[in-house]
Amino acid sequence: MSDAFLKADVRPNADSKQSNVQHGPWRDAARSFAKNKTALVGLCLVIFFVLLALVAPLIAPFDYKAQVLSDRLKPPSGEHWFGTDDLGRDIFSRVIYGARISLWVGLLSVVGSIVIGTLLGIIAGFYGKWVDMLISRVFDILLAFPGILLAIAIVAILGPSLQNALYAIAIVNVPTYGRLVRSRVLSLRQEEFITAARALGANDGRILFKHILPNSLTPIIVQGTLGVATAIIEAAGLGFLGLGAQPPDPEWGKMLSDSRQFIQTAPWTVIFPGLCILLTSLGFNLMGDGLRDTFDPKMKGR
């Protein structure tokens, strides 16, 4: 009898330990993400450039706008780590300030695309009929043009500036998130929990933002992370064409455009801005792939 009592006494403790191990889906996703070494490399790259942008005024050795013509096109040295450009400006200082511009444009344009695209996608997928047809046709029109060409056209109409480049990139990427959310809503609105919510008297607004939107966040987060890399490259492309940031702003694409004639005589003027574009976009792509592998049930079993 005492042995039975001891066994009965031990089992609840084991169950309690097992219950302590159980976690929510977001914590399980974080644990799965942490096991993906490639995704962690991407996360480290993103964190590095974000910190670089935040502390730029503290670590920049020179004013990024200061022109010293006697120091023009100097190679990398102890004084100028990344060398100088054709106007004698310190490239290291301009590169770390350029991280602020590129990340700002990339993040804000993606946030704008997600907000507008998600709203339109939810409305189209939930209400259907002529509303869905109208919004879908707008998406089709925007997708009929190559993204960079449409962005160039928008900036050409609005005028060359960093702000207008941000607007153009956001508009170009709206259909991507809109169609993604629309397809998600079309599958979710047939689920039993949506029918139950209607039966309990929930209105459309509550169903959309309390039930459908939270269940659509996973693909939005993954696509948004990948979209930042695309937005940074598009911003660099517009800057290279002179349609983005204007002098003296140290935008990486603009720095490449200003230095392309010195590729052979002063290659450092091109290498470092180009390397920053490469590493930043690579970081967001690796992190986005890791998030996709984490949230996609098909990838978990592999």
87-126 per-position pLDDT tens digit:
899 999 999 999 999 999 999 999 999 999 999 998 888 8
Give the residue numbers spanning the domain of 237.
28-300
Nearest Cα neighbor of 169 from 180, 184, 158 is 158
d(CA 43, CA 282): 10
User: Is 155 among the domain residues?
Assistant: yes
Residue 11 belongs to a domain: no
Residue 8 lies in a domain: no
- What's 171's domain CATH number? 1.10.3720.10
**pTM metric for this prediction:** 0.83
- What gap in Å lies between CA 21 and CA 80, rounded to an integer? 53
pLDDT score of 301 more than 70: no
Domain annotation covers residue 135: yes
- Tens digits of residue pLDDT in 10-45: 444 544 444 444 556 667 777 777 888 898 999 999
DSSP state of 76: S
- Alpha-carbon span 152 to 144, nearest angstrom: 15
Q: pLDDT at position 228, please?
A: 93
The whole-number pLDDT of residue 52 equals 92
Rounded average pLDDT over 270-283: 94
Number of structural domains found in the chain: 1
Residue 107 included in any domain:
yes
Query: How far apart, in whole angstroms, are the C-alpha atoms of residue 164 and residue 297?
Result: 39
Q: How far apart are CA 243 and CA 167, in angstroms?
A: 12
Q: Tell me whether residue 3 is in a domain.
A: no
Residue 41 forms part of a structural domain: yes
End-to-end Cα, the chain, rounded Å: 48
Determine the pLDDT at residue 12.
Answer: 47
Residue 272, phi then psi, degrees to nearest 5: -70, -45
Sign of the C-alpha dihedral computed for residues 251, 257, 260 and 265 taken in this order = negative
Neighbours of 150 (CB within 10 A): 18
- Considering the domain boundaries, does residue 16 fall inside one? no
